[in-house]
Structure 1
Amino acid sequence: MQRVLREEGLALAEPLQPERLQKLVYRYCPPSIGNLFALPRVGSLDALEWWTELSGQPRHLNELPADEQEVLKQRLNQRLLALDNLITELEKRGDPAASELRVLPTHPDTNNLYSINGEPLLIRWVPVFSTSAPSSVISPNAAPSPPPTAIRPPSSAPASPRRRWVIPLLLPLLAGLALLGLWLTFAHWERFSTPWQRSEGETLPFACRNDDAPPPEFVTIFDTSGSMNLNIQTSPEDEQWLFNMPDFLRELRANDPRMQRLIAGPSRLTVAQHAFSDLVQAIDPNIDIGLVTYQGCETTVVQGIFSADQRPQLIEGVHRLVADDGTPLAASLIRAADMVDGINRDAVILAFVDGADGCDQNQCAIAQDIANRQPRLRVNVVDISNSGLSNCIAEQTGGRVFGSQDAELISKMLIDAGRDALSEDYCDG
């Protein structure tokens, strides 16, 4: 954790509010939204400090070039829109957390916006006040406060005698309504799902479930090529620029802003590892999961086939993977196809990749050969570079392509790829 800013002469209007709100945000939202809000702390001499879990050099919005400012503001708006959609979903199901989360700024002042490796970070997202003038509260929103009305009743005015006897009568009614709301929520919880909250028992059902048909065989290809170390937002042009550069020039440009942006986190590998963990936890326990990874252009590695009891080891092993060297995508397809039947039994390969084969083999021709030999095998492609260079693999085998560079969507995208392959819809394909 690092400190972004230290401000003397400011204090929190409600000292307990930030921690309470952040607990709710991290409970309901992915880390990309949780990390949007800097954590306020009281430092030495009672100065207000803003801290973050993000790593990298903090840069204020105004310090960025104009194009980077627009990208940062667009990313901020995407995060806030996702947060707003979540709160709306919570409101629909009557979750009391919604009203607390609604106090978060929806149109924050850009003077409070920082960038850390391209990730937006907000300070002063809760009300603060000047310790020299406690009545002067600084709002986290950019929108000005509405002008005061001409006549405003004093806040200390006592309740009228008519209203005093009504309040005790209303309290039992309100308590009863609250209990009824809680009962409805728990009794019908499965109807109220949010994008980032799955019940522990929810899994993706396997295809054609009945007493006779076995579940489909399922193998994943996890890209561990060197390009997986790049930032998740790296474009094909930036990637080509980097890898076409001689090694000595790459070292000389180590401090180049473009170079720094490409090697900053979150990397494709980190995002892929977390998304893969979500997929493993969602797949039906009756389905064993095979895993193939790379080891340069020389070989591919069959990590094994993991049962439900072995899934913790599978997840732990994937998080230990290191990205390095070439992309033997075609060779990995051959190895994965050899692990399944695909002729008399349904089989699915889910290829989690960031581009095309980089080891002088034609992945499209290999996919066509697999389709001819194993007609009941389909390959779904999850392309986190969104380059489209491996789409032919899915097209040749009757699979589907999922592509995105949005770290927030990749986990959902990967699970959708598993759901498409392993749900009852698979039987109708």
Structure 2
Amino acid sequence: MIRITRTVEHSESVQNYINLYPSFISLVEQHLSAGYKNLFARPHQASDGAIEWYSDINGQPVSLIALPPAEKEHARVLLQQKLVVIDQLYQKLSMNNSAPVDVMQVLSLASCQSDERGVWVVDGQPVITAWCESPAVPVSPVASKGRRWWWLLLALLVLLAFLLLRGCMPTAKLPVQGAPAPAPLPIKQICPAKRTKQQAPEMVLIFDASGSMSISMDITPDELRRLMQDRPVKNFDREPRRISLAHRSAKQLIDEVPKDMDISLVSAATCQQVSVTPALSFAQRDELKYAIDNIQPVGKTALAEALEKAGKLVDGVDRDAIIVLITDGEETCGGDPCVVAQQLKQQKPRLQVNVVDIMNTGAGNCIASQTGGSVYAVNNTHEFNEMMNQAIKEYIPEACD
């Protein structure tokens, strides 16, 4: 996490945003990929009253207005595209009243075009630190006075109707109705002891085992640029390698998965070399960890083929199913993982794909969006465990024995 900037003066809407930031970001995370969460800087109120703005994206923050013309225009286009999606989310949630009013007000402000002086660019991604003001609607004194008379007249009519009908009401006391029963929890959030084995969700781990997964997570931007140009780079595969961290985090993740959930493993080594395991039970998790450790980077990226094979391992119709895809790049075997994801969701409506996106490439965005899943971007070594845990968090029930 980096600090972008520090602002001393702030408005009431910004203060409201600070208070509601956790609920607001939770709402964004629930419906959109991680790239949209990162659009909004994280505020922190310092002891002197100033606001410090932070970002989970690593890189040198540069003010949008200070960028060269070409970079500025690219960032503006990207910003506008993301704000359109935020606005669409606001419109969607407004129709079904599925979010608290105060959070929806923040979402409304978030969807409007911000002052460019409050927009920064970090690693090519726009980050907002300034907020639109909530527009005040002017009301003329005459209109206001007229509305007050209408409200007074309406109140008098309601009172008169109540008094006239009161004598017709039965004198016996009506039974007090209890509070409505809470909505039942989704199956994936019910403790294993309270659901049958047939109700337990199914899980598949997909490992991108392409050659790029051998690259060190500590590689410098200059080294990576030279490597992408097929120029020699000494020790580019030094530890911690991407694949090594994926091994470690996946094995820790497995220990958190409920005991009644079977887990399958898909390893995408290269084109037409995608291997799968059968569903492994809780008693076989050591065997699963051993299989994970044996996955090593080989060739190209076969995401479409891996998704297709993973989809065949789960029900997704009568049972919940989650696929966790760990990848660091786009499809390079000629397939179309977006189309595969769309077809899977049509055939298996209770299936979702969450993507752990190493180095925030954006390669898995459409896969997640097509299946109702989310993208969890890993920008450095320290984020690996956290993002892996977030990718399965909603399938781990709370307060279970």
Q: TM-score, normalised by structure 2?
A: 0.49
Q: TM-score, normalised by structure 1?
A: 0.46
